[in-house]
Structure 1
Amino acid sequence: MRQYTQTRLSEAMLAIARDVDVALDDFAGMIAIDTSFPPGKGYGAFSDLMQNLLEPLDFVSEKVVVPEVLWHVPGGPACGERVNLVATRETGKPVCGLYYHVDTVPVTPGWVRDPLALTVEGDDFYGLGAADMKGTIFATLLALRAARKCGVDLAYDPMLLLCTDEEGGLYPGIRYLAEQGRLSGHILNFNGSAAPRIWAGCFGIFNLQLTVTGRAVHAGEGNRTGTGNNAIEGTLPLLAALMDLKAEVAERQSALTPPPHSKGPLRPQLTLSAINGGTAGGQVPAEVKVLISRRYAPEESYEDARAEIEAAIHGAIPSQSELGIQIDLVGHLVPTSDPEGPHWPRWQQALSQGFGYRPEDFGKWGAASCSDFGWVQKTGVMHEVLLGGLGRPESCIHSPEEHTTRQDVVALARSILAYLASDFAPEKIPETTTV
Structure 2
Amino acid sequence: MEHEELKRQVNERIEERTEGMVKLLGSLVDKETVIGNEGPGQEVVIDKFEKMSLEPDVWIPDVDDLREHEGFFETQPYQEVGYEDRPNVVATIKGEGDGPTLALSGHMDVVPVTDSEWDYDPFSMTQKGDRLYGRGTGDMKGGLTACIHAIDCLRDLGIELQGDIYLQSTLEEEDGGVGGILSVLMRGYLPDGAIIAEPKGVPNMGMASAGVRYFKLTVHGKSAHVGYGFEGINALDKAMRLYEALRELDAERKARIDYEPAYRKDPRMRGHETNLNIGMIEAAEWPAIIPGEVELTGRLGWPPGEEPEDVMAELEATIAGVTESDEWLSDHPPELEFFGLQADPHETDPNEELLQVAMRNAEWITGHEGVFYGGSGGNDTRYYKRYYDIPAMSLGPEPNNIHGANEYVTLPSLIETAQSIACTAIDYCGVAET
CA distance in 2, matches of 1:73, 1:275: 22
What's the offset of the Cα at 1:290? 4.0
Distance across 1 between alignment mates of 2:117 and 2:292:
33
Structure 2 CA distance for aligned equivalents of residues 415 and 354 of structure 1: 7
Specify the SS of the correspondent of 1:327.
strand
1:97 Cα deviation from its structure 2 partner: 0.4
- Give the whole-Å Cα distance in 1 for the aligned partners of 2:339 and 2:200: 29
Residue type of the alignment partner of 1:63: W
* Equivalent residue runs for 1:365-384 within 5 Å: 365-379=373-387, 381-384=388-391
Q: Does 1:163 align with 2:179?
A: no
Letter in 2 for 1:372: D
More deviation, 73-82/299-308: 73-82
Could you tell me which amino acid in structure 2 is paired with residue 145 of structure 1? D
Change (3 A) 1:181 1:284: farther
Distance 1:79 1:254 in 2: 40
Q: How far has the Cα of 1:430 moved from its partner?
A: 6.7
For structure 1, list consecutive stretches of 5 or more residues without a partner in the other structure. Answer: none
Superposition deviation, residue 135 in structure 1: 0.5
Query: Is 2:313 aligned against 1:338?
Result: no
Given the alignment, which residue of 65, 70, 73 partners 1:71? 73
The alignment partner of 1:369 has SS state of coil
- Following superposition, the deviation at residue 62 of structure 1 comes to 2.2
Instruction: List alignment gaps of at least 5 residues for structure 2.
Output: none
TM-score (norm 1): 0.78
Letter in 1 for 2:311: A
Q: Which position in structure 2 is the counterpart of 1:272?
A: 278
Task: Tell which deviates more after alignment, 155-164 or 283-292.
Answer: 283-292
2:134 pairs with one of 127, 133, 157: 127
CA 1:266/1:147 → structure 2, altered by over 3 Å: closer, same or farther? same
Alignment partners' CA distance in 2, 1:147 and 1:162? 19
- In 2 relative to 1, CA 109–231 (structure 1 residues): closer, same or farther, beyond 3 Å? farther
Whole-angstrom CA distance in 1 between matches of 2:392 and 2:274: 23
Distance 1:307 1:429, change over 3 A: same
Q: Deviations over 1:95-152 (max 9, x none)?
A: 3101223333443536423333322211101222222211001112322333343333
Residues matched between the structures, number:
413
- Cα deviation, residue 333, structure 1: 1.8
Taking structure 2 as the reference length, the TM-score comes to: 0.78
Say if 1:22 and 1:99 are closer, same or farther in 2 by CA, change over 3 A. Answer: closer
Give per-residue Cα distances to partners, 1:253-303, cap 9 Å, x unaligned: 224343143144663111223455665668887876543212213222211
Determine what percentage of the aligned residue pairs are the same residue: 21
8 Å CA contact retained: 1:259, 1:367: no
Structure 1 residues 329 and 98: CA distance shift in structure 2, 3 A: same
Deviation of residue 210 (structure 1)? 3.6
| Map of 1:400 onto structure 2 | 405
What is the one-letter code of the residue matched to 1:384? P
Seen in structure 2, the aligned counterparts of structure 1 residues 142 and 332 have a Cα distance that, compared at 3 Å, is: same
Which letter does structure 2 place at the counterpart of 1:141?
I
Question: Which whole-Å CA distance do the structure 1 matches of 2:75 and 2:383 have between them?
Answer: 20
Q: Which of 302-311 and 109-118 deviates more? A: 109-118
**Structure with the higher helix share, 1 or 2:** 2
Query: Equivalent residue for 1:244?
Result: 248
Instruction: Determine helix, strand or coil for the equivalent of 2:415.
Output: helix
Please report the RMSD computed on the Cα atoms of aligned residues, expressed in angstroms. 3.9
Cα shift at 1:26:
2.7
